[in-house]
Structure 1
Amino acid sequence: MGGEDEAVESVSGGCSRAGKRRRLWKKMKSQLVEYHALPGYLRDNEYILRHYRPEWPMKQVLLSIFTIHNETLNVWTHLIGFFIFLALTIYTAMKVPKVVDLNTLQHFPDLHKLQSELLTCLPSMPDFHKIRDELRTTLPSMDMLPSISSWHVKELLYNCLPERFSSANHTDSCVLHSVKEDLANIIAPLMIRPITRWPFFAFLGGAMFCLLASSVCHLLSCHSERISYIMLRLDYAGIAALISTSFYPPVYYSFMCYPFFCNLYLGFITILGIATILVSLLPVFQSPEFRTIRASLFFGMGLSGAGPILHKLYLFWGEPEVFHTTGYELLMGAFYGIGALIYATRIPERWMPGKFDIAGHSHQLFHIFVVAGAYTHYRAGLVYLRWRDLRGC
């Protein structure tokens, strides 16, 4: 009987807790108010008419991450983005430096056998011992680039391939050329030390900080005026950090062989980011009237990247990786620009006030474009890493 009583008590306790949760959700839902009932500091978008959380207790604010209101998707669009970039960071860190070669490796199931055959024929190559000695003496003392080009290594490897790739096997010449080139790309990095990764991880850190800060801001800002003030500053700082650190990989890897321009561009965007954060600390910057100015300021930060991109194209015109990365950067700029435009114009809710209170309003769309733009930049970063690992200066 004792066991039965305990079971009944356990079931009763579970039902009681479930009932309390349901009552809490019902109570919280009943506390959602319309725009005209909000305190002044929470009035930001007059086209979002209902489902606001006005000055809730902190416990209810935290629990509201699992309930439906007009900030729910604002929280989750960037929180999911944060976890995506956290996973990308872990993935990249675990695979460095091989992460840049994964797309190539998957097409060669017999890679290890091919590598063994290639490495076996290397000692018979002219000047191999000289090249090996130069690599050994040069690399330990270099922070950026070896004195011998990986393209030289690739050229030698290209002429040292197994006989089974000969024309006697009726291999199509285009396929043969492609296989030889891919194999050379795989082996060459084994003889050249990968370049530093800190600019790439700086960008990933900036992206995660921006996305997490935004999620926390949208979740907690309704608690009180003081919390709202702090959270909005944190949000602006996150945006500035994302834009600034997004410059680090393209600038560093494009101009790593030109220290003056590398330091000039990195210093400029860093100072501009800090200045933007300081300006965002001004109380007047928070008012809805400055929405367009806020968007324009961050848009201007992104637009300042046009200079380094044009300079990069001038220096490396004709190299496919340069066009590849520039295409990614233009796509990233389009995502950010469209998102900022939607945020500033408050489309689509301004066309049908009240119809997009829960889902589909401008801030949610802005968040989606930010995540898409940041991921596009991540893909560009992988191209930069592979390019510099193989190309050197």
Structure 2
Amino acid sequence: MSPGEGGGGAAVNFRKRSKRRSNNAAGATKDQPQNHEDSCYYQSSSSSSSSASNYESKKKRIRKKKGKGNNNNVRGSSKRFELMSYWELPEYMKDNEFILNYYRADWPVLEALFSVFRWHNETLNVWTHLIGFVLFVGLTMANLWEVPQVADLLGFFNRSTFSAAANVSHNFSAETTNFVHDLKQITSQEMNNIASPGDRLSVALWPFYVFLAGSMFCLLSSSICHLFSCHSHPLNVLLLRIDYAGITTMIITSFFPPIYYIFQCDPRWQFIYLGGITLMGICTIITLFSPKLSSSKFRTFRALLFASLGLFGIVPAVHASVVNWGNPKRDITLVYEVAMALFYLTGTGFYITRIPERWRPGCFDLAGHSHQIFHVLVVMGALAHYAAILVMLDWRSTLGCDINITL
């Protein structure tokens, strides 16, 4: 081959290579997101893929630092406690593949504790239930100290107030008077057992405080679980079990006040319903203590198990409606209880379906994802149930047993 031919061939090859580069560049441009809806996914996936490629080298550097025994350097290293992507997580922490970034993993307990004041994808999960816990502590204290203005926090929903020792409002007194007048068919012996509108009967408050204690335990255990489950695999499993026990305890204790007060004049039904829900709850806790059932694969099973516990309440609810058919406060109580059921069931739906992060992965990593919505709805459901119990207490402390038509 002559020098001239060789030079011409090199020029042709150079032009071909240039053309291939331009085609590749065009293809890369074509792959970029074309609208805002895809931007969350592309930004998250690009940053996550690059960080995933460096994951092993990061782990080696961290192990090397640990091997030197210089704890101060490890603690002071900002890289050691950086937030990471879903692909960098240990397998035991991979629960929701639609939340792509801002994870914590293998953090010391002290760092995990102080992360309550940092932004990560568990921050709002911690605070939604932590605020709910503080709220229920305040309500408990207000009722123990008999501060009706604080105890009746839900007065904007209904004007009826809770107080076993407070005076009955004028409206409720009028309603009670009309109700007693309508019961003129009741025998004189039964009428003697009905308290007059101005009198207050002694009512046991322990079922009410059982519900408040169960709610506080659930909300606090949930906050602790979301805050410290990033520490290690053994602690993660332990806290998840406590969290499931807290949810079950809240469901069980929610049954105590309505069943106790509605069936106070018929202890047989108290025993049947409270014994049944308690036994179901204990079996649920034992079942969920299995490490296998704590994995994300059984997420739907856990949600259905909790939902079945709640749906058990349909039977005593129908029974209570018949027993209290003439109760003037029946409709108000039912409205609150239906609201509670809707809040809980809607929250469970978000928990199972993982909406909205399923629709736009990466866009709801910090705020607005399904578990945060679930937490808010749980607190709202507990408050609705609290309001229903206030009405039951006010009614039971005003009227005697024999106005009930027991089955």
TM-score by length of 1: 0.72
- Asked if 1:217 is matched to 2:239, the reply is no
Is the partner of 1:285 in helix, strand or coil?
helix
- Asked if 1:307 is matched to 2:315, the reply is yes
Per the alignment, residue 188 of structure 1 pairs with 199
- Asked if 1:331 is matched to 2:339, the reply is yes
- Asked if 1:93 is matched to 2:138, the reply is no
Distance across 2 between alignment mates of 1:255 and 1:30: 55
**1:232 offset after TM fit, Å?**
0.0
Structure 1 gap segments, 5+ residues each: 1-22, 115-145, 155-186
Give the one of 391, 394, 398 matched to 1:383. Answer: 391
Rg comparison, structure with higher value: 2
The aligned runs of 1:45-84 (5 Å cut-off) are: 45-84=96-135
Per the alignment, residue 82 of structure 2 pairs with 31
Q: 1:105 to 1:238 in 2, by over 3 A?
A: closer
Q: Which has the higher helix share?
A: 1
Give the one of 259, 284, 289 matched to 1:281. Answer: 289
Distance across 1 between alignment mates of 2:192 and 2:377: 42
Q: Give the letter aligned to residue 216 of structure 1.
A: I
Per the alignment, residue 214 of structure 2 pairs with 206
Per the alignment, residue 255 of structure 2 pairs with 247
Q: 1:90 to 1:388 in 2, by over 3 A?
A: same
Is the partner of 1:391 in helix, strand or coil?
coil
Per the alignment, residue 353 of structure 2 pairs with 345
Distance across 2 between alignment mates of 1:89 and 1:30: 38
Q: 1:71 to 1:390 in 2, by over 3 A?
A: same
Distance across 2 between alignment mates of 1:305 and 1:105: 25
Per the alignment, residue 265 of structure 1 pairs with 273
Q: Give the letter aligned to residue 229 of structure 1.
A: V
Per the alignment, residue 93 of structure 2 pairs with 42
Give the one of 174, 179, 193 matched to 1:148. Answer: 193
- Contact residue 97 and residue 194 of structure 1 kept, 8 A: no
Q: 1:387 to 1:96 in 2, by over 3 A?
A: farther
Q: Give the letter aligned to residue 55 of structure 1.
A: D
- Asked if 1:367 is matched to 2:378, the reply is no
Distance across 1 between alignment mates of 2:76 and 2:372: 23
Q: 1:149 to 1:226 in 2, by over 3 A?
A: same
**1:24 offset after TM fit, Å?**
8.0
Q: 1:105 to 1:256 in 2, by over 3 A?
A: closer
Distance across 1 between alignment mates of 2:161 and 2:102: 51
Distance across 2 between alignment mates of 1:25 and 1:77: 30
- Contact residue 133 and residue 216 of structure 2 kept, 8 A: yes
Distance across 2 between alignment mates of 1:278 and 1:294: 12
Is the partner of 2:397 in helix, strand or coil?
helix
Q: 1:51 to 1:275 in 2, by over 3 A?
A: same
Q: Give the letter aligned to residue 368 of structure 1.
A: V
Q: 1:41 to 1:285 in 2, by over 3 A?
A: same
Q: Give the letter aligned to residue 107 of structure 2.
A: W
- Contact residue 32 and residue 50 of structure 1 kept, 8 A: yes
Structure 2 gap segments, 5+ residues each: 1-73, 171-190, 402-407
Distance across 1 between alignment mates of 2:102 and 2:161: 51
Distance across 2 between alignment mates of 1:25 and 1:90: 42
Q: 1:69 to 1:264 in 2, by over 3 A?
A: same
Deviations 1:262-307 (A, max 9, x none): 1100001111111111111011111111010010000110000000
**1:316 offset after TM fit, Å?**
1.5
- Contact residue 28 and residue 60 of structure 1 kept, 8 A: no
TM-score by length of 2: 0.69
Count of residue correspondences? 298
Is the partner of 2:398 in helix, strand or coil?
helix
**1:104 offset after TM fit, Å?**
6.4
**1:257 offset after TM fit, Å?**
0.5
Distance across 2 between alignment mates of 1:231 and 1:335: 25
Distance across 2 between alignment mates of 1:227 and 1:212: 16
Distance across 1 between alignment mates of 2:219 and 2:394: 27
Distance across 2 between alignment mates of 1:295 and 1:30: 32
Is the partner of 1:95 in helix, strand or coil?
coil
**1:318 offset after TM fit, Å?**
2.8
Q: 1:29 to 1:57 in 2, by over 3 A?
A: closer
Q: Give the letter aligned to residue 70 of structure 1.
A: N
- Contact residue 240 and residue 276 of structure 1 kept, 8 A: yes
Distance across 2 between alignment mates of 1:383 and 1:105: 8
